[in-house]
Amino acid sequence: MATLELKSLWKEYGDDVVLERLNATVETGEFVTIVGASGCGKTTFLKMLLGTESPTRGELLLDGKPIPDEPDETRGIVFQRYSVLPHLTAERNVMLAGELESSRFLGHTFGRMRLALRNEARQMLEDVGLGHAMHKYPHELSGGMQQRLAIAQALMKKPRILLLDEPFGALDPGIRRDMHKLVLKLWREQNLTVFMITHDLEEGFFLGTRLWVFDKDRLDPQAPGAYGARITYDLPVGRDDAHTLDSIADRVDSTARALND
Amino acid sequence: MKKLINRHPGIVSRWALGLLPFLLIAVIYTAASTARLEENPNDKLLPSASAMADAMHRMAFEPSKRTGDYVLWTDTAASLQRLAIGVGLAALVGLVFGIANGAIPLFRAGLSPLITGISLVPPMAMLPILFIAFGLEELAKVMLIFIGITPFLIRDLQQRTEEIPEEQIIKMQTLGANTWQIIVRLVWPQIMPRLIAAVRLSLGSAWLFLIAAEAIAATDGLGYRIFLVRRYLAMDVILPYVVWITLLAFVIDLVLRRYSAWRYPWFHGRTA
């Protein structure tokens, strides 16, 4: 069953066309990686998925219904930064989703309920490799650990779609490889539907099941905003070759120069 | 030899450098006081250290002939009580309205212009109005402190609330939080240490308003006392009282700072 449908989706800010005529269908369990030059609407698209921006024209459907126009528990998110709450320990960060659900007024739980949530949270923290850091505050954790925590926190809610906004952009290459493994493992185990935005083309090429390249088909160097970006490549990951990678890299680079000069 | 901007004092020299100005002031004062007293033993302007000690001993440990009170302590208790009620109320109102204004755009649209307007009224100009409206009793003095610092607290906390990263507010929503839960689990806990910081900043003005109100209409309090004995040029009481007020202010500030560091380690860990 189609989880997400894009039907001639447009996004404009005034005269600036950001995205034009996006058409695609994403099934449950797919892992879509989105790459493209800065300014090509990747983040705008993610914001539409989140509900903080709405389409100018066209439709964005989740399970056949228009996607809610504010963030809610159907879509989980991990940002590049500020994803976890600095005033809670790792354990409390992960317990948060459960606490919010079971106590609508206080947002805090006590007694047996709390114990149950704590055990769940501990299990999840073990799964993402943070079993030793349960009682630490985010500022005491490294960048990679904070992102592990953010993923754990988002997954507690079992979202229909997990959105990752350049989650590993600020991490060292070694740590980044570990994080790839973790994300792939969780994706397989929990049958998640994932959208990941990345700057790193190679990351997009081997992570997940599907690669989208956002690029401007038509680009007027005098008026970069005149035409919007489209999905210029929609490739199944694993069946592509080095040649495709090179040609995509070339195109994305030239767009990036035209847009960001 | 390193450039001056790159030379940092060690622990010993930092203390020595820090204490040096205090010592210098003490030495200069003593010299000036001795010189004046030599010329005229009844000089009141720069009393000697022993005269001040005598005066304070009288204020603190001998019951007043008129009322039987130990004046320094009743003054201190009266002033601190006013300060605590005024600042406490201001902090409470600042917290509630600061968060509401900062977190809820509809609230902000309605209230923000009013609060900006009120904050521009000089509080001291309100003092006669307060005395007329609330009488010369405790309420007017507490209200002056309250009116003096509340607009600042509201505006500061509103700004701090608006500075909470958008990512965290979105994150809370994706975890299923409603508006109220976002406030009690995200905004409020993150604003508390900032409230303490804002209160520390506003304490200076709070003391100013307290002493002003006491100077004009009161029957006890630290501000009342120094303005009362001013009539007799009693510098031997005024100077130690000023030092005592300064010490109280310093201790309150220190306690707030320590409490915040102990209670909100994540806040101080992050800013350090």
A71 reaches B (C-beta below 8 A) = yes
Distance CA A28, CA A143 (A): 30
Distance in Å, alpha carbon of A99 to nearest chain B alpha carbon: 10
Question: What torsion do the CA atoms of A178, A180, A181, A183 make, to the nearest 10 degrees?
Answer: 120
> Cβ separation of A75 and B174 shorter than 8 Å?
yes
The residue of A70, A87, A94 whose CB has the most chain B CBs within 10 angstroms, and thus the best one to mutate to test that interface, is A87
A164 and A63 in a common domain? yes
Distance CA A233, CA A235 (A): 6
* Exposure letters B154-185 (e unless 16+ CB within 10 A, then b): bbbbbebbeebeebbbbbbbbbbbeeebbbbb
Among A158, A191, A207, the domain boundary falls at A158
- B144 SS3 class: helix
Structural domain total, chain A:
2
A228 and A253 in a common domain? yes
Distance CA B175, CA B185 (A): 12
Domains and CATH numbers, chain B: 60-271 (1.10.3720.10)
Query: Region B198-214: what's the mean pLDDT?
Result: 94
Domain that holds residue A243: 2-74+159-260
Residue A81 lies in a domain: no
Find out whether B168 and A82 touch, Cβ atoms under 8 Å.
Answer: yes
Residue A82 lies in a domain: no
A246 reaches B (C-beta below 8 A) = no
The residue of B160, B180, B185 whose CB has the most chain A CBs within 10 angstroms, and thus the best one to mutate to test that interface, is B185
CA B214 to chain CA centroid, Å, is: 15
Distance in Å, alpha carbon of B177 to nearest chain A alpha carbon: 6
> Residue B179's closest CA among B135, B187, A23?
B187
Residue A79 lies in a domain: no
- Side-chain-side CA neighbours of A231 within 13 Å: the count stands at 19
Crossing angle of helices B49-61 and B71-103, rounded to 10°: 80
A153 and A118 in a common domain? yes
Among A140, A158, A176, the domain boundary falls at A158
A134 and A190 in a common domain? no
Place B270 in a pLDDT band, splitting at 50, 70 and 90: low
A13 and A108 in a common domain? no
Distance CA A127, CA A184 (A): 13
Distance CA B201, CA B92 (A): 16
Using CB atoms, pick whichever of B174, B264, B266 lies closest to residue A157: B174
A207 and A102 in a common domain? no
How confident is the model at residue A239, as a pLDDT?
56
Residue A122 lies in a domain: yes
The answer on pLDDT for B271 being more than 60 is no
Residue A80 lies in a domain: no
> Residue A229's closest CA among A209, A245, A250, A251?
A251
A185 and A59 in a common domain? yes
Query: Region B160-181: what's the mean pLDDT?
Result: 93
How confident is the model at residue B41, as a pLDDT?
87
A148 and A37 in a common domain? no
Residues in chain B within 8 Å Cβ distance of A50: 170, 174
A174 and A140 in a common domain? no
A165 and A138 in a common domain? no
How confident is the model at residue A261, as a pLDDT?
61
CATH label of the domain that carries residue A51? 3.40.50.300
Among A105, A126, A158, the domain boundary falls at A158
How confident is the model at residue B272, as a pLDDT?
43
A170 and A50 in a common domain? yes
Residue A41 lies in a domain: yes
Query: Region B82-101: what's the mean pLDDT?
Result: 96
Task: Give me chain B's average pLDDT, please.
Answer: 92
Three-state helix/strand/coil letters over chain A: CEEEEEEEEEEEECCEEEEEEEEEEEECCCEEEEEECCCCCHHHHHHHHHCCCCCCEEEEEECCEECCCCCCCCEEEECCCCCCCCCCCHHHHHHHHHHHHHCCCCCCCCHHHHHHHHHHHHHHHHHCCCHHHCCCCHHHCCHHHHHHHHHHHHHCCCCCEEEEECCCCCCCHHHHHHHHHHHHHHHHHHCCCEEEECCCHHHHHHCCCEEEEEECCCCCCCCCCCCCEEEEEEEECCCCCHHHHHHHHHHHHHHHHHHHC
> Cβ separation of B175 and A100 shorter than 8 Å?
yes
A181 reaches B (C-beta below 8 A) = no
pLDDT digit of tens for each residue in chain A (261 aa)? 568 888 888 888 888 888 888 888 898 888 999 988 887 888 889 999 999 988 888 888 888 889 888 999 889 999 988 889 999 999 999 999 999 988 888 878 888 889 999 999 999 898 888 889 899 999 999 888 898 899 999 988 888 899 999 888 878 888 888 888 888 888 888 888 999 998 887 777 778 888 888 888 777 777 777 788 888 888 787 655 666 667 777 777 777 777 766
The answer on pLDDT for B197 being more than 70 is yes
A203 and A154 in a common domain? no
Under the phi-then-psi rule, with left for phi > 0, alpha for psi from -120 to 50, and beta for the rest, what region is A23?
beta
More confident residue, A227 or B221: B221
Considering A62-66, B46-50, B91-95, the range whose residues carry the highest mean pLDDT is B91-95
